[in-house]
Amino acid sequence: MPAKTNARKPAKTKTRKAPTRKWSRNVKTESTFPPKGTFTKSGEEVARIMARKDVSPGGVGSAIRMVQMFINRGGKNLTPTRKKELEKAKRILQRKEHPKRTGS
C-alpha cells in the first residue's frame, strides 16, 4: 500500500473580472439639458438654474436627480470642492422641495 501524504492540492486562484463600464456613461438625454457650464458654478447658482421650469420641467425632484446624476457620472474625477458644491446645490433643492423638514 502506498504511503499517505498530507500534501494539499494547490488552491485555485480567483481571477478578477475586468470592471464593467457604468451604465450612467451612456445616458444622453435630449429633452432637458441644463445650460453649458451650469455645474461649474457655486452651489446656490446651480440650484437656482436647475430649479427653473425650462431646465427641469418635471419639478424640483427632477432637478435633484439631474444633479445627483452629474455627481455619479463625475465619480472619482470630481474634485472634493466641486463635489461639495454640488452636494450643497442638492441640499438647497431638497429644502425647496420639502420646506417644512428640519435638519442640516
CB atoms inside a 10 Å sphere around CB 47:
24
Helix (H/G/I), strand (E/B), else coil: 89? helix
Question: For residues 17 and 46, which has the higher predicted lDDT (pLDDT)?
Answer: 46
Strands (E), the chain: none
**Residue 32 confidence (pLDDT):** 67
Q: Dihedral, CA atoms, 59, 25, 42, 45, nearest 10 degrees? A: -30
Q: Per-residue pLDDT for 79 more than 90?
A: yes
Q: Per-residue pLDDT for 16 more than 90?
A: no
**Residue 15 confidence (pLDDT):** 75
Name residue 4's amino acid. Answer: K
- Is the entire prediction scored with pTM above 0.85? no
